[in-house]
Structure 1
Amino acid sequence: MAALTPASVKAIARLRAYRPPPTQYYNLPLTRRAAVLILLFADRAGDLRVVLTMRASTLKTYAGQAALPGGKADSLSETPFDTARREAYEEIGLPLSDAKLPPPFRIEHLCQLPANLARTELGVRPCVAFLSANPTPASSSTATGYPSATVPSIEGTLIPRLDPKEVAAVFTAPFRNFLRKADELPRRSSSASAEQGPGVEPAGLPAEWYRGGWTDWHESRWRMHNFYVPVAGQTVTKPRPKISRPSPPEEADPLDGLTRFRVFGMTARILVDAARVAYDEEPEFEHNSHFGDEDMIGWLLKIGRLTERKGEKDELTRDHLRKAAKI
């Protein structure tokens, strides 16, 4: 793992110093609490990348979609970071403590971002962490405090152990690029082979990095981001097949042959906001200026929404939202 670039050093420092506004997360009942992990690490050039998953196609919600590792809280005493770390362990095998990480790696909890309201009416707290090499004495370190000697790559050392019931694949994306309208690097020339780079896409998939548009949601105008992350030139980890007696042939993997994975919805918005904080700059594309949904969660709590249990007739309506916005 290379030493961090100056821009990456500053990004980590800003995230470490970030203090979010008061949150409504702890006013939510347990059944409405969730957290996700924004796990950052330095690539071989010293730029920051973020770990993402493709959800299993068998899940009841957001099946087959890109997501950050995460899920629902187990108890009221569990912090959002504890929830995010536990879920990352269950989904991709990320160890729960530094002592169980292969040396010389460690994980630093940098900050938490404002809670987002998912379409399933969960309050989702993003937790940002940095996976790095352990510091060494100043005499043998770079200015960033990390070893100047060659350190094993994250992808090559921390091979995820995926839960096939929840995760279909693990991949990574360039973190700063969630502020950009185009790929971070010029697209390489390519043939039809996915192994030669992200230049050629299967029919029907866009070849560019970003597409976006405005939509109405919760009585507000919302920018919907769609990022198409090149994966042909990186390691995409999938669940290992179990060795057992012969079984019926499985259906074809819908991810096979794709050279880009689509990241959109709340996951995309969280990554845009995290990158805005980290790099202290605004995106090249149009976006919502506020971070998270703390105000909206507060309004809905005041009118009696987001209760412990959600009934079949408890769907959020425009009348609910208009009433909440007036409080």
Structure 2
Amino acid sequence: MACIATSQSIDCEMGCQTLENQDSKKLRCLANRLRCYQPPSVNGETENGIDQGINSTNNTRITKPVEARERRAAVLICLFKGTEGELRVILTKRSMNLSSHPGDVALPGGKMEEVDADDSATALREAMEEIGLDPALVEVVANLEPFISQHQLLVVPVVGLLPRIEDFKPLLNEDEVDAIFDAPLEMFLKEDSHRLEEREWRSRKYGCHLFDFKSEQGAFLIGGLTANILIRAATIIYQRSPSFTTHLPDFQQLQNHLCNANA
């Protein structure tokens, strides 16, 4: 498994050229399309290059302005081409020794620090610290609209492509990560392994998306914020909605409703 090179500013028309050494035309074109992706901004305000609003997905996602760094985080959606040509995403299982969400499946990532120039820098630094992913292998192609975590962090998903998975030699930080594995991105649009669990946050009900996944590394349950982010990423990349339906708002939709109600 592996991810691609560092974040670069490239015009949409020139997007495919940075991957010209890659033998996959589909991956090159995906990179080009994702570089053109512009999540619509709600308030359009930025500070030090940091968008301070929640943007829209299928629904309008709005939140109050968030402190530039103290309450901001980023995760890396690292995609590569599988043996059958499918897009796969790198995931981790958090260490059982962590105080926050021990044993949960997560995307590499964490809180923004002062040394980070932007969200991409945060995601790449955290991936290096957690799983030994060299930023030079990762090509950042897009930032998706931010999500709100249960701890009220603003979490920005950063999409990166890994043209040469064979160059990635995982080195796990055992204090933070128990396991690393990969899953097909398209899985997060399919009903086969999906289920919805009713949960409660501050006396309000919401639906938690859960995906059961088995691999050579073991059996994993992918849910919560990670599942929500990957559903959104798959929806954008495959340009279609999930095949499953829900009778409850998910956590992000609940946050949108509360923010809109208080606006």
TM-score, structure 2 as length reference: 0.74
Q: Do structure 1's residue 30 and structure 2's residue 30 form an aligned pair? A: no
Partners of 2:115 and 2:172 in 1: CA distance = 27
User: Measured at CA, do residues 280 and 123 of structure 1 come closer, stay the same or move farther in structure 2, by a change above 3 Å?
Assistant: same
Partner residue, 2:117: 78
Q: List aligned pairs for 1:266-305, cutoff 5 A.
A: 266-286=225-245, 296=255
Q: 1:292 deviation in Å?
A: 9.2
Aligned residues: 223
Partner residue, 1:15: 34
Partner residue, 1:122: 153
Q: Which moved more, 1:278-287 or 1:85-94?
A: 278-287
Q: What amino acid does structure 1 have at the position aligned with 2:40? A: P
Percent identical across equivalent pairs? 35
User: Measured at CA, do residues 17 and 169 of structure 1 come closer, stay the same or move farther in structure 2, by a change above 3 Å?
Assistant: same
Q: 1:47 deviation in Å?
A: 1.1
Q: 1:14 deviation in Å?
A: 3.5
User: Measured at CA, do residues 62 and 325 of structure 1 come closer, stay the same or move farther in structure 2, by a change above 3 Å?
Assistant: same
Partners of 2:28 and 2:247 in 1: CA distance = 27
Partner residue, 1:326: 262
Partners of 2:115 and 2:168 in 1: CA distance = 31
Q: What amino acid does structure 2 have at the position aligned with 1:68? A: L
Q: Which of the numbers 67, 83, 90 marks the counterpart of 1:51?
A: 90
Q: Do structure 1's residue 230 and structure 2's residue 214 form an aligned pair? A: yes
User: Measured at CA, do residues 288 and 211 of structure 1 come closer, stay the same or move farther in structure 2, by a change above 3 Å?
Assistant: closer
* Contact map agreement 1:24 1:115 (CA 8 A) in 2: no
Comparing both structures, which one devotes a greater share of its residues to strand?
2
User: Which is higher, the Rg of structure 1 or of structure 2?
Assistant: 1
Q: Once superposed, what is the RMSD of the aligned Cα atoms? A: 3.2
User: Measured at CA, do residues 10 and 180 of structure 1 come closer, stay the same or move farther in structure 2, by a change above 3 Å?
Assistant: farther
* Contact map agreement 1:42 1:48 (CA 8 A) in 2: yes
Q: 1:107 deviation in Å?
A: 2.2
* Contact map agreement 2:194 2:210 (CA 8 A) in 1: yes
Q: Give the match's secondary structure for 1:30.
A: coil
Partners of 1:20 and 1:295 in 2: CA distance = 20
Partner residue, 1:91: 130
Q: Give the match's secondary structure for 1:160.
A: coil
Partners of 1:109 and 1:168 in 2: CA distance = 25
* Contact map agreement 2:79 2:88 (CA 8 A) in 1: yes
Q: List aligned pairs for 1:1-327, cutoff 5 A.
A: 4=24, 6=26, 11-22=30-41, 23-24=51-52, 27-75=66-114, 78-96=117-135, 98=136, 106-133=137-164, 154=165, 156-182=166-192, 209-217=193-201, 222-232=206-216, 236=217, 259-286=218-245, 296=255, 321=258, 325-327=261-263
Q: 1:76 deviation in Å?
A: 7.8
User: Measured at CA, do residues 290 and 214 of structure 1 come closer, stay the same or move farther in structure 2, by a change above 3 Å?
Assistant: closer
TM-score, structure 1 as length reference: 0.60
Residues 173-210 of structure 1 show CA distances to partners (whole Å, capped at 9, x for unaligned) of: 0011110112xxxxxxxxxxxxxxxxxxxxxxxxxx22
Q: Give the match's secondary structure for 1:83.
A: helix
* Contact map agreement 1:5 1:46 (CA 8 A) in 2: no
User: Measured at CA, do residues 39 and 158 of structure 1 come closer, stay the same or move farther in structure 2, by a change above 3 Å?
Assistant: same
Q: 1:216 deviation in Å?
A: 4.9
User: Measured at CA, do residues 223 and 159 of structure 1 come closer, stay the same or move farther in structure 2, by a change above 3 Å?
Assistant: same
Q: 1:223 deviation in Å?
A: 3.2
Partner residue, 2:45: none
Runs (5+) with no aligned partner, structure 1: 99-105, 134-153, 183-208, 237-258, 300-320
* Contact map agreement 2:206 2:250 (CA 8 A) in 1: no
Q: What amino acid does structure 2 have at the position aligned with 1:228? A: D
* Contact map agreement 1:24 1:294 (CA 8 A) in 2: no
* Contact map agreement 1:115 1:293 (CA 8 A) in 2: no
Partners of 2:148 and 2:238 in 1: CA distance = 24
Q: 1:31 deviation in Å?
A: 2.0
Partner residue, 2:60: none
* Contact map agreement 1:57 1:63 (CA 8 A) in 2: yes
Q: What amino acid does structure 1 have at the position aligned with 2:175? A: K
